[in-house]
Amino acid sequence: MADADENKVDDEDAAAQWASMLELEEKQAGDAPPPEGDVAAGAEEPMRVLNQDEIDSLLGFDIKKDGDTGRTDGIFAILDKSMTAYEKLPMMEVVFDRLVRQLSTSLRNFTSENVDINLESMSSIRFDDYLNSIPLPALLVVFRAVEWENFGIVTVDSSHIYSMVDILLGGRKSDRPVRIEGRPYTTIEQDIVKRMVDVVLADMSAAFEPLSPVTFHFERLESNPRFATITRPGNPALLVKFRVDMADDRGGMLEILLPHTTLEPVRDLLLQMFMGENFGKDTVWEKYLGKELRGTNIEIEAIFNEKIVTLKDIMSLKVGSTMLLDCTPDDDITLRCGGIPVTTGTLGRVKDNIAVSLHDSVKQKARDVQL
């Protein structure tokens, strides 16, 4: 009896050891990568769960990148694709380079001091992001593009404003930096800024003149960015920053913001490539194209008369049927090209051919249609 009990205990111990060995083998098989044969047969790999840092990086909310304020990762990179980068408008760089040259001369005459202007940067930005990034206090000038029927903004920072006031009102020359005060701007300071921006707008009109004639007019002056809203907050805009340096370490920043809706009327012109000051005009190609157009064959129709009839009358027409027109042989005939009337004339005959004697020239007729 005792031997039977001992055999029973040995069997239970062996079964327990055998079960533990099977569990260990299954665990090792689960940790090991699946063989290629199993993957090819359609075996599913275990799903990997992203942690919070990986999710933030994917969505563009990586708080570790404190110095990176451009937000060009994750979902922000996808959203920013809707903005038109200024690199796609190659003419803008040349227009503002021209503005830098003209504005340097104009501000020298305006201040009677040496003025150096540098184009700092050109970038695309959302309008609401720009309003939130303006360092206050500052003055914002809203101007109107008359021919384009839209608006833009010129921003002058406080350092530039106080430097201009010191120079124009005879401030003492010193090496210490200009003190930036948090008080509201006086009427005299606002008037000086208005006169300076008028010079900037006049030069900017001249810079766009070879491309497209446009007149920029002063609209209003604002100190609160929220009162200078000229487009929807999410609309993209072109931001151009200028660094203005004057004598005795004076100067500041001058920024011009043009929404893409403002540039839309001349967007096709801004897209073209060019050499020199002709802004893309190729006289050789223009002459060749004009010569080829004048040699193109076109079809001219001489319309004697037109009459409106019913579908029943059309269906009843047979060989030998006669259709009466409400006109006489002396009535005028209309000449059409591509469905457009170009001139009129009188029906006649030259030898064995039917001819039309024109009353007006085609150029005169086209001029009358345009008027």
Lowest mean pLDDT of 134-138, 207-211, 362-366, name the range: 362-366
Ordered alpha helix ranges (H), the chain: 2-31, 36-40, 52-59, 74-79, 90-111, 127-133, 158-168, 187-208, 260-263, 267-271, 283-294, 311-315, 362-370
Domain boundary (249, 278, 307) is at 278
pLDDT class of 162 with cuts at 50, 70, 90: confident
DSSP 317: -
Taking only the tens place, the pLDDT of each residue in 8-49 is 556 677 667 767 776 766 666 555 555 554 444 444 556 777
Would residue 25 count as lying in a domain?
Answer: no
**Do 219 and 94 fall into the same domain?**
yes
Radius of gyration of the chain (CA): 39
Of 278, 308, 336, which marks where a domain is finished?
Answer: 278
Q: How many angstroms separate the CA atoms of 112 and 238, rounded?
A: 31
The predicted-structure confidence for 245-296, as pLDDT tens digits, reads as follows 987 778 889 999 999 889 888 888 888 776 444 555 667 888 888 888 888 8
Look at the chain and report how many structural domains it folds into.
2
- Is 286 among the domain residues? no
Question: What would the two tokens of residue 159 be?
Answer: 């350092």
Q: What is the pLDDT of residues 41-92, one digit of tens each?
A: 444 556 777 777 777 776 666 545 444 444 555 566 555 555 555 557 788 8
Q: Determine which helix (DSSP H) or strand (DSSP E) holds 80, and give its type and residue range.
A: none
Question: Is it the case that residue 195 has pLDDT exceeding 90?
Answer: yes
* Percent share of the chain, pLDDT over 70: 73
Res 144: pLDDT: 93
Residues 306 and 361 occupy one common structural domain:
yes
Question: What is the Cα–Cα distance from 170 to 188, expressed in whole angstroms?
Answer: 14
Q: Give 371's pLDDT tier (boundaries 50, 70, 90).
A: very low
Most confidently modeled range among 47-56, 194-203, 225-234, 308-317: 194-203
Exposed/middle/buried for residue 104 (C-beta within 10 Å: 0-12, 13-18, 19+): middle
Q: How far apart are CA 281 and CA 53, in angstroms?
A: 54
Same domain for 136 and 260, yes or no, is yes
Is 138 in a helix, a strand, or coil? strand
Give the residue-averaged pLDDT of 121-150: 89
Domain holding 319: CATH number? 2.30.330.10
For residues 23 and 302, give the distance between their C-alpha atoms in angstroms, rounded to a whole number: 99
Identify the domain containing residue 340 by its residue range: 298-370
> 174-189: per-residue pLDDT in tens?
555 455 556 788 888 8
| Residues 271 and 307 grouped into a single domain | no
In this structure, the answer to whether residues 270 and 336 fall within a common structural domain is no
Q: What is the dihedral of CA 80, 84, 86, 90, to 10 degrees?
A: 150
Paired with 348 in beta bridges are: 355
CB-CB contact of 160 with 244 (8 Å): yes
The residues near 236 (Cβ < 8 Å, ≥ 6 apart) are 82, 83, 84, 124, 125, 126, 127, 259, 260
CA gap 118, 120 in Å, rounded: 6
Identify the pLDDT of residue 42: 47
Distance in angstroms (rounded) separating the CA atoms of residues 182 and 292: 67
Q: Residue 51: what are its φ and ψ, rounded to 5°?
A: -85, 180
pTM greater than 0.75 (yes/no): no
- Looking at the fold, whether 320 and 256 belong to one and the same domain comes out as no
Mean pLDDT over each residue of the chain, to the nearest integer = 78
The percent of the chain in helix, strand and coil, each rounded to the nearest 5, is 45, 20, 35
